[in-house]
Chain A
Amino acid sequence: MRRLVYLLPVIIVLGMAAFFYRGLHINPSIIPPVLVNKPAPPTDLPGLPGHKGLKTADLMGHVSVVDVFGSWCFACAEEHPTLVAISKTDVVPIYGIDWADKPADAIAWLKRHGNPYARIGMDPSPARTVVAWGVTGAPESFIIDRHGIIRYKRIGPITPDIWLHTMLPIVRELQQ
């Protein structure tokens, strides 16, 4: 019993060390999403000139991917070729939310990188819709089921690997 009392501080320190060590490997920019399995937030965005806008009703009746991007966003350019490739497979429509962009900048950016989006809603600053979707940075993407419920959230660029092994299986399952 006496020995146990002397061991107690050691056990406490080891426990705290294990806790802090785990903390070293957590990516703080990935905030646990709270909107997964909740309805997509009310959305009514005007279209980027020359494109269809995005409304909540547009998300009903089919599975879709909603992607938040901006021409100012470096990682979006990195993700873009993957989105263009996905859009060519015709598996699922990708809808864009263009965050805090000037229309001319966005149009030039899409001309340069290609347009994978079936609809593009503009959300200029202060981006109430982007905040309603709980977005912390671009790019972020969501998989929406046919009832307009968010089923998956991706923080950061979609890579071919993430698409093929994580997101595409979810899309296929929701489409069944």
Chain B
Amino acid sequence: MKRILLLAVLLLFHFVTPAWAVDPDEKLKNPALELRAERLGDGLRCLVCQGESIEQSNAGLAKDIRVIVRQRIMEGETNAQIKRYLVSRYGDFILLDPPFQDRTLVLWLGPFALLLVGLLGAGGYLRRRSRSPTPPTPLTAEEKRRLDGVMRQGGA
């Protein structure tokens, strides 16, 4: 009985889909344009909640920007034009993908620079370790005589 109940509860999760904030009445009639708006909105930061895109956010401002994006699409603007407009109002911060520019060089190239430093360090270490040690200087006649003596006595 318990098991059936558990199974029923688990099956309920089957119907769970990610909840998007978009109201049905915001959506564009043309599915291709709506898809374009959603893709564009996925890359735009909600300036109120900041960790979310405007497509995911319930904030009033996010809803307004979603609608404005759709209005501008209907007015025939390209994605680049819409992005440029919003960046001119809110700065690069509204883009969830920071653009590659002089201010973000460290952000984009830093990890590769650190990887390079690490690889150089590891390479140097490995090269030093695998280099054969210098051959020992040959024994002098005196040392050889003592060694032979020790060997003959079988130790100590």
CA distance in complex: A8, B113 (Å): 13
CA distance in complex: A11, B86 (Å): 39
**B34-85 at interface with A (beta carbon < 8 Å):** 47-48, 50, 60-61, 63-65, 67-68, 71
B64 touches A134 (CB 8 A): no
**A90-146 at interface with B (beta carbon < 8 Å):** 100, 125-128, 130-137
Partner of A136, one of B67, B71, B88, B90: B90
Tell me if A26 is interfacial: C-beta within 8 Å of chain B.
Answer: no
B64 touches A127 (CB 8 A): yes
Size category, A interface: 20 to 34
CA distance in complex: A131, B64 (Å): 8
B89 touches A35 (CB 8 A): yes
CA distance in complex: A12, B111 (Å): 12
Q: How far is the CB of B49 from the nearest CB of chain A, in Å?
A: 10
Which secondary structure dominates where chain B touches chain A? helix
Which secondary structure dominates where chain A touches chain B? loop
B61 touches A34 (CB 8 A): no
B71: which A residues are within 8 A, CB to CB?
Answer: 126, 128
Tell me if B116 is interfacial: C-beta within 8 Å of chain A.
Answer: no
A100 touches B64 (CB 8 A): yes
Tell me if A28 is interfacial: C-beta within 8 Å of chain B.
Answer: yes
Tell me if B10 is interfacial: C-beta within 8 Å of chain A.
Answer: no
CA distance in complex: A41, B93 (Å): 19
B47 touches A130 (CB 8 A): no
A131 touches B65 (CB 8 A): yes
Q: How far is the CB of A104 from the nearest CB of chain B, in Å?
A: 19
Partner of B64, one of A29, A31, A130: A130
B114 touches A137 (CB 8 A): no
**A11-58 at interface with B (beta carbon < 8 Å):** 12, 28-29, 31-35, 41
Q: How far is the CB of B118 from the nearest CB of chain A, in Å?
A: 9
**What is the interface of chain B, defined by CB distance below 8 A to chain A?**
47-48, 50, 60-61, 63-65, 67-68, 71, 86-91, 93, 114, 117, 121
* Supplied contacts A5-B121, A126-B71, 7 more A-B pairs, CB within 8 Å: A12-B117, A100-B64, A125-B64, A126-B64, A126-B65, A128-B71, A136-B47
**What is the interface of chain A, defined by CB distance below 8 A to chain B?**
5, 8, 12, 28-29, 31-35, 41, 100, 125-128, 130-137
A to B CB contacts below 8 Å, 9 in the list = A31-B47, A32-B93, A35-B89, A125-B63, A125-B64, A131-B61, A131-B64, A134-B89, A134-B91
Q: Which 7 A-B pairs have the closest CB atoms?
A: A126-B67, A134-B89, A136-B47, A126-B64, A34-B91, A127-B64, A31-B93
